[in-house]
Amino acid sequence: MLLTLAAFVAVLGILIFVHEAGHFVAAKLVGIQVLRFSLGFGRPILAWRRGETEYWISWIPFGGYVKMAGFEDEGLAGELEGGKSAQPVDPARAFDRKPLVARVVVVVAGVTMNAAFALAVYAGLAYTGTLEPNNIATTEVDSVIATDLPPAAQPLASLRRGDRITTVNGDSVRTWGELQLKLANAHTPVELRVAGRPDSLVLHIADTDTAARFATALALSPYLAPVISTVTSGGAGAKAGLMPGDRILKVNGDTVVSWQDFARVARRNPAQRITVEVQRGSERLSLAVVPERREEREPATKQPRVLGFVGVGAAYPTLPRPGVLGAIRVGWRETTGRAELILDFLAKLVTGRASVRELGGPILIGQISGQAARVGLATLLGFMAFLSINLAILNLLPIPILDGGQLVFLIAEAVRRRPLPLELRLLPSLEKRSKGTSRGTSRPRAWSPRSRRRSMERGEGGERRGSSRSSMSSSAPRRGWSSSS
């Protein structure tokens, strides 16, 4: 529980910092006065000042913001962000006083930083050889569990041990992970080419049938030689005397040709003695192994099951580690590939081919963060990079509370050569003031991959021309830059 909470705070905090740092740096570069940089909302836990900017770490961790000159938050919005800054405001350096191009740069800086962060993480993982630490550099099939295949994927039952899948819908696949990803996301019909076969295997799995695609990917097993690579200290294999480099020849008297032959017997015999014959150098040894009993949930049905676990890992082929330029290319490919998956899902969501039930919120993010942290740092970083791409894309949606909505307003301003009418840029929930000279509005916070859009005060002040004495606020419809999961 503590690891899950710590991982969640770390993941969220880093991604918020990356996003807000983009807006912060861009604002500084174009000459906008930055009054406050805050990780979190509410009153500060830690606070310090450097130059004209306050730096806060606040109590509510689900977001962050950069308060710039020209923003005057009142009511709930101001309280959520800890109130107004005590720093004197320079009207000449307010957000709205800057050229249109400068404002566009500030608006897109957050999502740009999210994308750059993902690219850097993927490239770094590729360079260190930990991008896919457990991915197998083969698409050679060992076996197919035909009974687990959905009806639309039955052509895969014709695959035999040693068959190598080369392409999915025309895209080449080099690793088992790439093959599974393609099977899960390729558009129908899914066409697989197999080396040495003249005809393709065609699967007619509906794009919306996520369960069927998941079952299809899990029904296939890669071919791995029955050679032990790792032995878990204190595990059943170590207790029995198994060692790295041992080649498994027989299990319970049956000849073993692939790793799956051994693994199937071990899984089916929890807490039961099995006899394993291995080749170690020039010696043949017969060892008694009692697989540990473990309970887990079946991936497709989520039903509990009991399995045997020996605590040994197979030796498997891996891709060579790339150089610096190669790692950058891999990072770019991973970033764009994950972005395409997200955009494809959003398209399915809009057209009704996917359900909102497949979306996850803060609780799911916390659970996945904890699981990734338990696996290792590389897995946690990979998850953070993927989540960062999610935030970048969702923030570009043309919704007023997001960066994309503000970008649309600025594009419209560029086309019209003047800002859009105030009424179009403000949300309907703007509150009216009873005094003609009073200004500032508050807006309810909306949960989103970023936090809400808040009212922004024009630096020059003054009542709108032609307004009634009970006028609406003259706040400029910009926003404080904030992010949340």
Give the 3-state secondary structure of 205-222. CCCCCHHHHHHHHHHEEE
H helices within 162-280, ranges in order? 176-185, 210-219, 236-240, 259-267
Phi, psi angle pair for 274, to nearest 5°: -125, 150
Q: What is the CATH number of domain 141-222?
A: 2.30.42
What sign for the dihedral angle of Cα 285, 286, 290, 296?
Answer: positive
Amino acid 29: pLDDT = 94
The 10 Å Cβ neighbour count of residue 175 is 18
Contacts of 1 (CB under 8 A, 6+ apart): none
Q: Given strand 53-68, what is the order of strands in its sheet?
A: 34-50, 53-68, 481-482
Instruction: Calculate ∠ Cα 395-397-399, nearest 5°.
Output: 100
Burial of 164 from C-beta contacts in 10 A (0-12 / 13-18 / 19+):
middle
Closest CA to 250 of 291, 287, 290: 287
Beta bridge partners of 334: none
Reading the block at residue 59, the tokens are 């109590």
State which residues of the chain have pLDDT below 70: 1, 3, 71-83, 133-134, 299-302, 354-375, 422-485
The CATH superfamily label for domain 228-298 reads PDZ domain (2.30.42.10)
pLDDT at 393: 92
| Model pLDDT, residue 464 | 35
H-helix segments, 197-276: 210-219, 236-240, 259-267
384, two tokens: 């953070």
Residue 299 to residues 53, 215, 233, 302, 386, Cα–Cα distance (Å): 50, 9, 27, 5, 21
* Confidence (pLDDT) at 134: 60
CB atoms within 10 A of CB 325: 9
Q: Is the peptide bond before 291 cis (omega within 30 degrees of 0)?
A: no
Does residue 458 contact residue 96 with C-beta atoms inside 8 Å? Answer: yes
- Tell me the two tokens of residue 101: 């191009």
pLDDT of residue 63: 79
Yes or no: say if 443 and 77 are a contact pair by the CB < 8 Å rule: yes
Tokens standing for residue 167: 């392409």
Length of the chain: 485
Provide the pLDDT for residue 421: 72
Burial zone of 343 (CB within 10 Å; 0-12 exposed, 13-18 middle, 19+ buried): exposed
What residues are paired with 55 via a beta bridge?
Answer: 37, 48
Is there a common fold for 141-222 and 228-298? Answer: yes
C-alpha to C-alpha distances, 355 to 198, 256, 301, nearest whole angstrom: 38, 44, 18
Q: Token match 């009073």: residue?
A: 438
> Cα(225)–Cα(317) distance, rounded to whole angstroms?
10
- The whole-model pTM stands at 0.68
Q: Is 193 helix (H, G, I), strand (E, B) or coil?
A: strand
Task: Return the sign of the alpha-carbon dihedral for residues 86, 91, 92, 97.
Answer: positive
Which residue in this structure is represented by tokens 């899914």? Answer: 190
Domain extent listing, the chain: 141-222, 228-298
**Residue type present at position 372:** A
